Amino acid sequence: MMARGVSGSGTTPLLCSFFFISWLLFASSSHASSEALKRPPIVDGLSWNFYFSSCPMLETIVSRHLRKVFRKDTGQAPALLRIFFHDCFVQGCDGSILLDGNPNERDQPANIGIRPEALKTIEDLRALVHIQCGRVVSCADLVVLAAREAVSLSGGPRFPVPLGRKDGLSFSINGTGNLPPPFFRTGQLLERFGGRNFDATDVVALSGAHTFGRAHCATFFNRINQTEPPIDTSLANNLSNTCPSAQSPNTAVLDVRSPNVFDNLYYVNLKNRQGLFTSDQDLFSDARTKGIVNSFASNQTLFFDKFATAIIKLSQLDVLTGKQGQIRAKCSIPNSKNLVTSVVEEDSTAQM
């Protein structure tokens, strides 16, 4: 009788719905945790399920919006991944690349070609998330999530990323000099990344981000007549037609085989002397990295796994957590505008 009375009450569908949603969230959390066990350790203050209670729909909001964006503009996917890398490798994953200033990080030579449309997408994501959850999610975390989705929605791996970063209050003009230029040789790449605790496998995997997107003539013009590392004759001719000079505003695809898909064909390109940048092609010329290129070219699953591991490591560089930093109300401006400083300004003050 008791059971029949309960099943006939109006509250049962509500309770069932509640328990079903709770089970889904728990299952999702458990899956993310089990996947995370295979990944690198995370720094204090970050968590695989940081927004489980405060913004449980965060990743769904980000993914849904980016699907719409990429349907209209596939080029925003590699642009968002580039913003992530160029944020984290300067002074840590703190959203400093998003900050306005005169000058700012985006004005520097290493950041030529950062797409305004992709910056707007990150700000749009912030607005959507803050409407849904309040101001609990940082712009720095949204940069990381957008990069992960850019990879996944373009055919690449989907993997959990630790969250809980806070936004920085400053940007670093000098720090943009940490970004490795496209004319670096492998030894220089290994040294630059090695200083941040990345090994040769990490370097080759992260270079695989060049499996989609485009680059401006100035970044690869030196390759057209290059003999070491070698360049495919047909590619050189095509690039020469595209770029009559280094100052040409034209662009070329980074991956001649599948320019809009995140896959392992970038490494096949390198085996055929079709790497666009010197830093790309030299990976197949250097004995320390050639074997890794071969393994990724023949095994996409291996590449995806190593890429995910390297991205998770990269996403934890010098992060601000806990009481450090802030959660910006707008990604391009810190909450207290007068607190915005650049490293250049700080250095000049120190010298006075």
The predicted-structure confidence for 250-268, as pLDDT tens digits, reads as follows 999 999 999 999 999 999 9
- Indicate whether 45 belongs to any domain: no
Instruction: Inform me whether the pLDDT recorded for 23 exceeds 50.
Output: no
- Indicate whether 249 belongs to any domain: yes
CATH assignment at residue 329 = 1.10.520.10
**Band of the pLDDT at 247, cuts 50, 70, 90?**
very high
- Is 309 in the same domain as 199? yes
**Cα four-point dihedral sign 147, 151, 154, 157:** negative
How many distinct structural domains can be found in the chain? 2
Binding residues for heme b: 210
- Indicate whether 5 belongs to any domain: no
Binding residues for Ca(2+): 87, 90, 92, 94, 96, 105, 211, 255, 263
Binding residues: 87, 90, 92, 94, 96, 105, 180, 210-211, 255, 263
- The dihedrals phi and psi of 215, each to the nearest 5 degrees, come to -140, 150
Within a 10 A sphere around the Cβ of 240, how many other Cβ atoms?
A: 12
Domain range for residue 272? 186-314
Which of the following is catalytic: 65, 86, 130, 216?
86
- Indicate whether 269 belongs to any domain: yes
Q: Is 86 a catalytic residue?
A: yes
pLDDT tens for each residue of 156-213 = 999 999 999 999 999 999 999 999 999 999 999 999 999 999 999 999 999 999 999 9
242 contacts 114 by C-beta, under 8 angstroms: no
The per-residue pLDDT for 286 is: 98
- Is 172 in the same domain as 212? no
- Is 134 in the same domain as 241? no
Q: Average pLDDT, stretch 104-127?
A: 96
Radius of gyration of the chain (CA): 22
More confident site: 9 or 95: 95
Instruction: Inform me whether the pLDDT recorded for 128 exceeds 80.
Output: yes
The predicted model scores a pTM of: 0.86
